[in-house]
Amino acid sequence: MSLKGKDFLSVHHLTVDEIYQIFDFARILKAKQKAGEPHPLLKGKTLGMIFQKASTRTRVSFEVGMWQLGGSALFLSSNDMQIGRGEPVKDTARVLSRYVDGIMIRTFSHLEVEELAEYATVPVINALTDLLHPCQAMADIFTALEHKGELKGRKLCYIGDGNNMVNSLLHICAKVGMDISVATPANYAPDATIVEQAAVAAKLSGSKITILDDPLAAAQDADVLYTDVWASMGKEGEQAIRKQAFAGFQINNTLLQAAKKDTIVMHCLPAHRGEEITEDVIEGPNSVVFDEAENRLHVQKAIMALLMAD
């Protein structure tokens, strides 16, 4: 089993063994980084990073990760590239493949990422699209594994918008055997195709998927409570409408009481404190939000090394 030379577009495309291969390698790389032990697995390699959506964690974690792996990263804003002036994605893919050893892209359209991967001859990593956020979901469940020691049979509860984040969490929870309950307001449910894909995987792993509109019911006996902003990037114009629709879909102390006593609280950040999560919860003893953010670095390093190393 090898991920070398492959693309990383969706957790749905990974086997359970490949997910744990990434987790195991992330654990090794994290230990090396903490010990100050050099691990130049990508010495001489270059990652091209295409950003059509701005980011703090994505840019820093990939750029620092490549440096720690002995390689280098190029920040490529769509405003400074010909792709931003109408060059076909397939042309950009073939040109960049002649220059770099891997391409990371954070953009709007998932179809654009799939086209990039189709025409590129180097690995392509999906760092976020409007449909999926697979790197974040991998870091999230790696964090759950660190804190809970076992994934199968655990329950993750997601409260909020049925966005790219919950789509990828559905994929990975179903693969690794975690139950997942999702509570969203009416008309904000996860993508129906994603739910169907996850349901197929859940049958194989024995996990359970529940889609509700009641946050308290969804949170019952949860090992992990998870939320995201009510209006993701590109949806800011709907902020006022969404604020009304999502009233009550908040991780707070009342919701915390419905979950298990040792539940961990996650948020992919940035957080709008006082909206989808309260200040006291995100800063409280159950929160692992910043462990989760750190693990973006370690998991993405594992992904890059497994895809790009000689």
Residues annotated as binding site for carbamoyl phosphate?
Answer: 55-58, 82, 106, 133-136, 268-269, 296
Q: Which residues of 168-178 are buried (b: 16+ CB within 10 A; e: fewer)?
A: bbbbbbbbbbb
> Catalytic residue among 12, 68, 110, 136, which?
136
242 in catalytic set: no
Q: Which of 110, 133, 267, 298 is catalytic?
A: 133
Peptide bond connecting 270 to the previous residue in cis, omega within 30 degrees of 0: yes
Token pair recorded at residue 26? 């992330």
Structure tokens at 145: 């594994």
Residues annotated in a binding site for L-ornithine: 164, 228, 232-233
272 catalytic residue (yes or no):
no
Does residue 268 have an active-site annotation?
yes
Alpha helices in 120-220 (DSSP H): 134-148, 164-176, 192-205, 215-219
Catalytic residue of the set 154, 161, 173, 268: 268
Helix (H, G, I), strand (E, B) or coil at 270: coil
**Cβ neighbours around 114 below 10 Å, total:** 16
- Answer yes or no: 179 catalytic: no
Which residues line the annotated binding site? 55-58, 82, 106, 133-136, 164, 228, 232-233, 268-269, 296
- Measure the CA–CA gap between 246 and 185, rounded to whole angstroms: 6
Name the active-site residue from 52, 296, 298, 300: 296
Active site residue 59: no
Neighbours of 149 (CB within 10 A): 8
Catalytic pick from 106, 110, 154, 267? Answer: 106
What tokens appear for 240 in the block?
């006022």
Q: Which of 228, 242, 267, 300 is catalytic?
A: 228
Residue positions annotated with a catalytic role: 106, 133, 136, 228, 268, 296
